[in-house]
Structure 1
Amino acid sequence: MKFKSTYLILVKTFSFFLFGLIILSCKSPAKSDDIALDGISKDKIELKEIVVGANRTERYLPLLKGKKVGVVANQTSVVFRPDGTYSHVVDTLLSSGIEVVKVFAPEHGFRGEADAGEHVANDVDLKTGLPIFSLFGKNKKPSQSSLEGIDIVLFDIQDVGVRFYTYISTLTYVMEACAEKGIAVVVLDRPNPNAHYIDGPTLELEHRSFVGMHPIPLVYGMTMAEYAKMVNGEKWLDNEIQCKLDVVEMLNYTYQNNYSLPLRPSPNLPNDQSINLYPSLGFFEGTIINAGRGTDFQFQRYGAPFFPKSEFSYRPKPNFGSKHPKFENESCYGVDLSKVEKLNFVNISYLIDAYQKTPKKDEFFGDSFTIHAGTEKLREQIEAGLSAEEIRKSWQKDIEKFKLIRNKYLIYK
């Protein structure tokens, strides 16, 4: 009887434990509201599957101990906690006893609140009291004086894998300035949400600018750490100098991961849809067409008051990230792309469609279109009436050449 009682107790205990496991496994995933993020992720970021470079403190804190550290960062430079919350990498470093002496802020600023192209001034971080040096505006490259008193620079910024998104240019200039000063750079790696394809026109060096510095396709399929290795290895820095570079790789990341950014990388990329459409709609930045700025659907629509009237229309108004949008307070007719399926190529048909709908063709392209495209050929092809298929076919030879270079520096598969 005693054995039977003990057996029944064990069975009941195991049944209760098993029931608990079933309840936990069936529990609905926590929503983004649980972690007070920007609404990009529908669910919590899968921290157990992918560990971003910033979370690998055991890897990079020893490199920084006892040194005066400069940090290149913005609002995406965070260390995630197991409960889904996060702390800024600068706060994490300070709480770990690292001597951070200066912060360098890229386009959109340290807290990510500036408009695209808006001047970002030198400042002081109110939370930490650290001096902030702008890397956008007149001083896109750190000055040698701003690097005085720094032993090592930590670079941690979320990118979206598009050539005219300026953070890879900031990375290049930081590496170059540090190489000239003999300062090492540590890059904390993060996923590329547009790493699932390579496409678009390849930059021609005569059109080199801050929105495109290297001979790469528009969408190049690399993370920041891989890109840094390529810039160094191909000797693309000024005078072919090379930077003392260390990269902190992610764990468990592959290009097959469907990664949803938990923080918006800049004010006008509010969600996954905008990030996926950005390579295709970013061309409109160099035209007279509005691409959703001044709405809550940035880079998910395009239109203009002079397009043919249609059922879909919107009215751009000043908002977060766009103080003076194109066609402010005017009714724009156009195309809604907020529900289209995920793209795995640069869809040039949107640009062709907008060009055809513009009555005054000579006013369509702005002065900055060529530097956004990285080539004059795209404008010429559209004006000549080439189809989207014909234009994309013209990119392929250069893309294949780039892939051979890219393959040398890949960390992930």
Structure 2
Amino acid sequence: MSHLTIIEQLDDPEEARQSGRKKIEWARQHMPIMTAVAEEFGAEKPLDGEVIAMAMHVEAKTAVLTEVLAEAGAEVAITGCNPLSTHDDVSAALDANDAITSYAKREVDEEEYYAAIQATLEHDPTVTVDDGGDLVMAIHEDYPELIDSIVGGCEETTTGVHRLRAMDDDGALRYPMFAVNDTPMKRLFDNVHGTGEASLSNIAMTTNLSFAGKTVVVAGYGYCGKGVAMKAKGQNAHVVVTEVEPRSALEAHMEGYEVCPMAEAAEKGDIFVTTTGNRDVIVEEHFERMADGVVLANAGHFNVEINLDELDDLAVSRREVRDGVEEFELDDGRRINVLADGRLVNLASPVAMGHPVEVMDQSFGIQAVCVREMVENGDAYDAGVHDVPDDLDREVAEIKLAAEGVEFDGLSDEQVEYMGSWQHGT
């Protein structure tokens, strides 16, 4: 390989491996869905002979998914999908598995980041599992010869699905991909509760500040924005929502939040959280209106939502005032604090642990059964973006409910017939 694995880059790989193994074991004991999937996969080996390339946030919960795919018979090559979200000890623990090669390392530059993605592709994958779309883009741009042997893949996050749908609309996506982000078991839990809880908890831990009594500005009222707004409100913050989509703005208004343009919100906010997946959400005109001491955080996938170039141009100085907090001082003395270099705060801040274990258990359960579906029934899917089959989504929900000891009703035969018929009238 032209790129070093994580083990080859660490001063004390054995110590790191042991530390990472503890994190993985803790996560796994709180992931009943993945435990059930692992039992099935380990017995049936549905991925025997497959090679899986992964670009993910390499931390403990992701490691559980990675190991379960390996236990199903696959060879796995994994790297990070963000330069700051990898836990090196977890990466080392994965690389110690004979069936897994990990190239993921924290705090890499852009060249190292993309070299690691390319390294996973040198394993000649038959399946891809991506978070953000960079892996799929690299295949289409730099390794098109792999496309004919790839049966399909899965995309984890909102930004990645947006990119894939744009590719699909242009006729550029040349193998089938499941939009895991868009299925209910992902959106309703990971995006809402996971992003909401993890973003706010990591902002609090990074800054040691409270939300109570503050004004929190949430940019974007999609599923992630809803989660951040709801959790901030639950911590006694006043929440202001900014939106560009009229129905989402109306929904936020009807749910009791103040809604206004960012130019107005910039004058009101104490803490700003971007959740749009788009660029230039907070820019120069907004920085100029902000109060001294505001905190800016991004919960979107890429570090483009807060325009740091424009902020840097306005600043007369910048310095790190806490681990993961960079202060930009403007010429009038106002200070604007940016968390985690504008990268996704729930994973890239120095104290970040990502989404709660139980939430990621659901998302990775979907990923696992979708990989199985692509391997077993890939011929049924044309090149392009596909919704996760509803029976797979329900399968994971039922596993979770059983693990929680929650019983629920079912339809009678008469109810099924009634709901499926158009002939019943008044």
Which structure is higher in helix share? 2
What TM-score, normalized by structure 1, do the two folds share?
Answer: 0.36
**CA radius of gyration, larger in:** 1
